[in-house]
Structure 1
Amino acid sequence: MSAPQHTTSYYAASANDKALRPALKEHIEADICVIGAGYTGMSTALHLAEIGFKVVVLEGTRIGFGASGRNGGQIVHSYSRDIDFIERHYGKETGKAMGQMAFEGGKIIRRFVDQYKIQCDLKDGGIFAACNSKQMKELEGKKALWESHGHNNLELLSASETQTYIGTDRYEGALLDKSGGHFHPLNLVLGEAAAFESLGGTIYEDSPVIRVDEGPKPHVHTQTGSVSADYVVVAGNAYLNGLIPKLQSKAMPCGTQVITTEPLSEAQQKALLPHDQCVEDCNYLLDYFRLSGDGRLIYGGGVTYGAREPSKIESLIVPKMLKTFPELQGVKIDYAWTGNFLLTLMRLPQFGRIGSNIYYAQGYSGHGVTCSHLAGKVLSDAIQGQAERYDVFAGLPQYPFPGGTTFRIPYTAMGAWYYNLRDKLGI
């Protein structure tokens, strides 16, 4: 049976590197074995390769097959729960430590792109758009919060100022983050893979891991080969497929949907997003959009719980797009796809160890582009014995969803319905 290919996305169609890596078909040894070739896995592998470790990456399908190659392609800082939430629930010391790391992931992305000349259409500037006065007040708080943790380059925009950045009267204001940005997400991870290989790293595709034997020197098995290593990093996130049940019981795969229009004229692009910056709104079930490198509108939103595939993605997303940009009525949709991210109960990432030498990072809860790159850095530091920052994450409680696997989907969907209703009512 042939291995799964990339989803039928705009990103896959416009990928810079369509070369296939071989499957693992022998027993090999390495310093570190990384399971999963998405952002977490490739950031970890590249950081470790840069300091001379022998690293092997095992990918069950294709590099960037999961959320790393399907997401909205936006540099959005901090976490799915912001620093003030962390301070309230886990104490000022934990909040301060996570605040010091909250803006590092975007810098790591930019370093990789610059240092390794990764062609991924990286552009500067991101906007948080407020749909009502309550959200605008929250953006004022976000600006103050982030500035208190040393993150500047932020500007509040009035409703009229927002319309000079976004060609719609839908928003009551916005927060411009000049250090945000957007890019082609699959080409980023493919570029990171090429950088890793240039440093002597090895990636095997079509090599799903079927078992991990714990011990002083863990043994990682695929159907046709194995790796023995001093350390293992589990970076499969929403695509672990039952490999380590104790990890998957603490999080739930969820899907988000994305569409891409046909290429738009230069006049259309200027009318929609005059400064070519990415946007996400402030709703619980948020919309996000931007222009691609070749002038298409990429528009995403919505959540399906339990990672089920919606039957008609366009019917879910096109009405959202037209609510924002009604002038796009009748525009051709060239691509539509869905992808899974991993949701945790507290909407905070889960880092930890299994034994002393198997590390994991997962559950970015829809906020993984920057945090996964940060995870790679703190994972590599922990493996080198500098685990202070990793242990800040690992010290956060990791709760199972109420109701177990049977009821977690309806419970979570009911909660989302409640918050979506609050967004619509502006309360």
Structure 2
Amino acid sequence: MTRPEPASYYAATASPRPARPPLEGSLSVDVAIVGGGFTGLSAALELAERGYKVALLEAETVGWGASGRNGGQVNTGYRKGPGELVAMFGRDQARRLWALSEEAKQMIRDRVARHGIACDLKPGSLYAVLKEEELGEIDGDLEVLRTQLGYDQAAHVDRAGMAERLGTTLYRGGLADAGALHLHPLNYALGLAAAAEKAGARIFEDTRATKIDPAGHGAETARGRVTARFTLVACNAYLEGLLPALEPRILPISNYIIATEPLGPARARSLIRDDVAVCDSKFVVNYYRLSADHRLLFGGGEVYTRRDPRDIKRFVRPHMLRVYPQLADARLDYGWGGRLAVTMSRLPNIGRLAGDLFYAQGFSGQGVALTGIAGRVIAEAMAGQAERFDIMARIPHRAFPGGPLLRHPAQILGMLWYAMRDRL
């Protein structure tokens, strides 16, 4: 039996979904995929369109994890800034990585149009800077974007411009990105699932993988088995012991979002004039946008234990009111949380453990876009065209220190330090 959906705005406004039965018995396919989030669904669609027989195993329901709970922001690039990318990889390799991230955004536009996915896709984002000393970083990033990476859709916004666009005087300046997007993530996931099934993929829900063949030739479940030529493990923060070799490379972090009551078009646009997605410069980032029915969806706050707050609405509300004190009278209709996975480098961890066993994880808050391109390049590699897969697989990664017993306490100390810096 699947665990219940989170009581989220997305679940309450989800598109109709078919009942997908669990796997019963044995099945032989070309590719077994474990995980029904963006990565697994993207790979399933790509592979099915290439003519591969695909079986996707999802422990709960499609989009149950981070893919159906996140802020819906399709941001440009990676969690590392453009200057950091060039410094880390050199100009040529940074340009290759950047091109993949740009393709990731275009994939979303193309898939929504091609498959008629109703996910309220909208353009634009604002990066909102809280401290004067951070403004120089924006100018440096813009210079790298234009001269090193060939990206010209971002522009500096001064303090007055931020106040006009966002209805708050909190920010010292910012970066407007016309090339970014935002969407209803659960409906996008459901649309990908429908497209993959139409292309011939089979999706099994309530089907938790209990064992992965170490050579990548299938997976076992409580009630069946899939034999495959290739296997992709795409569980991200919800690995839960399935592949212990992968877990040291990621840290699951809990994140929380609230949704106000419908505010009406005028009041909603007084908060975000241009209906773009917003994220700020805090390490424990605040992020927010408007929904199709004129609610403010606001994510923020940090938790340093494995337990969720008892009252998520009450927990996130002070962060919202710091930005928008004028919403003190607004009712909160939804509050929910979920887990994402970050890596030490804050770059995605994509690769293979054996010749036929692939994995993708650790998108570090940039997963709405980057999961799509991860699924595509993994599909290419399975088809014998590994050049683009290798670009991402060669990103170096270190395990988090401390081993399984000390990893979480070390994370707490690190997050406390950065949270303290946010308040200085």
Find the counterpart in structure 2 of residue 361 from structure 1: 360
> What is aligned with 1:240?
239
Q: 2:364 is aligned with what amino acid?
A: S
Match of residue 142 from structure 1: 141
Determine the structure 2 residue equivalent to 1:189. Answer: 189
CA 1:173 to 1:83, structure 2 compared with 1: closer, same or farther past 3 Å?
Answer: closer
- The Cα offsets for residues 274-317 of structure 1, whole Å up to 9 and x where unpaired, read as 21111000111110000011111100013335653222212321
TM-score normalised to the size of structure 2? 0.96
CA distance 1:144–1:254, change in 2 (3 Å): same
Task: Determine the C-alpha separation between the residues in 1 that align with 2:45 and 2:75.
Answer: 22
Rounded to whole Å, the distance in 1 between the matches of 2:271 and 2:114 is 32
SS in 2 for 1:302: coil
Alpha carbons 1:255, 1:306 under 8 Å: kept: no
Larger CA deviation: 287-296 vs 12-21: 12-21
Distance 2:172 2:274 in 1: 19
Q: CA deviation at 1:114?
A: 0.7
Q: Which amino acid aligns with 1:166?
A: L
The answer (yes or no) to whether the contact 1:254–1:303 under 8 Å persists in 2 is no
In 1: Cα distance, 2:319 partner to 2:370 partner: 27
Distance 2:28 2:81 in 1: 40
Q: Counterpart of 2:42?
A: 43
- Corresponding residue for 1:180? 180
Output the CA distance in 2 between the equivalents of 1:275 and 1:8.
28
Letter in 1 for 2:116: K
Give the Å deviation of 1:104. Answer: 1.9
The aligned counterpart of 1:66 is 65
- Identity over aligned residues, as a percent? 37
Partner of 2:303, secondary structure, is strand
**Unpaired segments ≥5 residues, structure 1:** none
Residue 194 of structure 1: how far off its partner (Å): 0.5
- The amino acid that maps onto 1:203 is I
CA contact under 8 A between 2:73 and 2:181: conserved in structure 1?
yes
- Residue 261 of structure 1 is matched in structure 2 by 260
Q: Relative to structure 1, is the Cα distance of residues 305 and 356 closer, same or farther in structure 2, using a 3 angstrom cutoff?
A: farther
Q: How do 1:110-129 and structure 2 match up within 5 A?
A: 110-129=109-128
Deviates more, 1:341-350 or 1:357-366: 341-350
Counting only pairs closer than 5 Å after superposition, residues 156-175 of structure 1 correspond to structure 2 as 156-175=156-175
Deviation at 1:219, TM superposition (A): 2.6
Is the deviation greater in 35-44 or in 386-395?
386-395
Which residues in structure 2 correspond to 1:296-335 (within 5 Å)?
Answer: 296-305=295-304, 307-335=306-334
Matched, 1:198 2:192: no
Q: Tell me, yes or no, if the aligned pair for 1:252 and 1:306 is still in contact at 8 Å.
A: no
Q: Which residue of 2 aligns with 1:212?
A: 212
Query: What residue number does 2:411 align with?
Result: 412
Contact (CA 8 Å) 2:237, 2:341: kept in 1 or not?
yes
Q: Does the Cα contact within 8 Å between 1:83 and 1:98 map onto a contact in 2?
A: no
SS at match of 1:360: strand
Provide the aligned length of Structure 1 versus Structure 2: 423
- Structure 2: gaps of 5 or more residues: none
2:307 and 2:111 mapped to 1: Cα distance?
34
* Displacement after TM superposition at 1:82 (Å): 2.8
Q: Which is further off, 344-353 or 57-66?
A: 344-353
**CA distance in 2 between partners of 1:324 and 1:104 (Å):** 33
SS at match of 1:341: strand
1:61-118: CA deviation from partner (whole Å, max 9, x where unpaired): 0100110000000110111223432333344443232122232211111111011010
Q: One-letter code of the match for 1:196? A: A
CA deviation after TM superposition for structure 1 residue 420, in Å: 2.8
Q: Distance in 2 between matches of 1:35 and 1:230?
A: 14
**1:21-45, Cα deviation, whole Å (9 max, x unpaired):** 1000021111111111101111111
Corresponding letter in the other structure for 1:236: C
Contact 1:254–1:306 (Cα < 8 Å) also in 2: no
Question: Structure 1 residues 306, 350: CA separation in 2 closer, same or farther (over 3 Å shift)?
Answer: farther
Give the Cα–Cα distance (whole angstroms) in 1 for the partners of residues 371 and 92 of structure 2. Answer: 22
- TM-score, normalised on structure 1? 0.95
Aligned-partner residue type, residue 412 of structure 2:
A
The residue type equivalent to 2:367 in the other structure is: G
Work out the CA distance in 1 between the residues paired with 2:261 and 2:421.
34
Cα separation, partners in 2 of 1:305 and 1:357, compared to 1, 3 Å: farther
Residues 72, 300 of structure 1: 8 Å contact kept? yes
**Cα separation, 1, equivalents of 2:305 and 2:229:** 34
- Structure 1 stretch displaced more, 100-109 or 220-229: 100-109
Shift of 1:47: 1.2
Q: Identify if the C-alpha distance between structure 1 residues 266 and 163 changes in structure 2 by more than 3 Å, giving closer, same or farther.
A: same
Q: Which residue of 2 aligns with 1:101?
A: 100
